[in-house]
Amino acid sequence: MAAEQEAFDERLRDPLPGAELERRWAAARAAMRAAGLDALVVQGVNNYSGGGYFRWFTDSPAPAANPRTVLFPLEGLMTVVEQGPMGAERTFDGKSAPHRGIGKRCYTPSYPSVVYTGSYDADLVAREIRAAGYRTVGFVAGMTTYHSFGERLKEQLKDCSLVEATALIDKLKCVKSPVELELVRRTAAMQDQVMQRVLEHIQPGMHDYEVAAYAQYQGQLLGSDQGIFLCSSAPQGKPVGSKPPIEQGRQLRKGDWFKLLVENSGPGGYYTELSRVMVLGKASEEQKDAHAFALEAQQDTVRRYRPGKPCREVFAEYAEFMTSRGMPVDRRVYSHGQGYDLVERPLIRHDEDMVIEEG
């Protein structure tokens, strides 16, 4: 007998298998039970940094700045609070995408630019928490939650215990399942194709923004739905960097060099990133030497990634390597995890307390 097919809205691109979502929910609930939590509150307000927590639970992005909040219970279906007509609600059985695991959606027309709506989402979440009788609620990804939401929720739930629970989910979210690893590989392959097409397309006379737009277009044709494309060009001997669109107005000339950073998501919403330097002419010996050293430094770090090794030790060894070669140490974040977020834990940095884990 053939296996029953999952029901998906035909508009959805690359929805996750239901078994993967069930795996996450079970892992989250086991961690919640051990921590004595009745529910989790997770808000997503963007799809680049921090919004991945919302998507991890729902398989749905937070594409705009308008808040989307999920109330994830220890038992039962989730409740989502999001943009929509004031007072409107819809109920679901939680079985079909894009509502898998969701039993209720509550709507409210709140906007970050309209100050008096800052309490609307929190009031709905607090109402649902009180109705369910939750006493201890974990707050996930407070760095991506609007201040007005968090303050209002604390004000409304003075009789409940609100505790920090981000690290609880980080331990689950950062280690990728086989399903997720395959999606990450597909994203990396997509970006390789994007960069190859850019190499075949770029030429003197184009503006930086035209090259970035072409890269974005090719990415979407290959399965991407969003991302950031940073680039800049300069004559030989002048620096280039990763510039945002407002600084991509320069016109390319023969002999220039051009740097492109592709940070777009691929199938299922997973991010990888790829950066390349292109020369519209002949590369200088200095450029060749710098590129060779960058590869050497990258390979030196990769060989240090072993399960069980503290991330801060990897950073210390990287810093020692750079210093021994007379090169500056990156004090920002030279290596980091990725997934639903452009930058996610673990970071390879002195202040990271995670260890490298398989997956």
pLDDT at residue 102, rounded to an integer: 98
Q: What is the distance between the alpha carbons of residues 305 and 356, in angstroms, rounded to a whole number?
A: 7
Confidence class of residue 62 from pLDDT cuts 50, 70 and 90?
confident
Which one-letter DSSP state was computed for residue 191? H
How far is Cα 52 from Cα 344, in angstroms, rounded to an integer?
Answer: 9
Is omega for the bond preceding 61 within 30 degrees of 0, making it cis?
A: no
pLDDT at 51: 85
Inter-residue contact 80 to 105 (CB < 8 Å): yes
Q: What is the mean predicted confidence (pLDDT) over 243-252?
A: 96
Global pTM value: 0.92
Torsion of CA 146, 266, 80, 112, to 10 degrees: 30
Domains (range + CATH), the chain: 18-173 (3.40.350.10), 175-283 (3.90.230.10), 285-359 (no CATH)
Query: Which pLDDT score is estimated for 6?
Result: 66
- In this prediction, residue 129 carries a pLDDT of 98
Q: For 258-285, write each residue's pLDDT tens digit.
A: 999 999 999 999 999 999 999 999 999 9
How far apart (Å, rounded) are the C-alpha atoms in residues 25 and 144?
21
pLDDT tens-digit series, residues 183-223: 999 999 999 999 999 999 999 999 999 999 999 999 999 99
Helical segments of the chain, H only: 18-35, 52-58, 120-132, 147-156, 166-173, 178-201, 208-221, 285-302, 311-324
What's the average model confidence in pLDDT over 287-309? 94
d(CA 292, CA 313): 24
| Mean of pLDDT over the chain | 94
Instruction: Note the residue count of the chain.
Output: 359
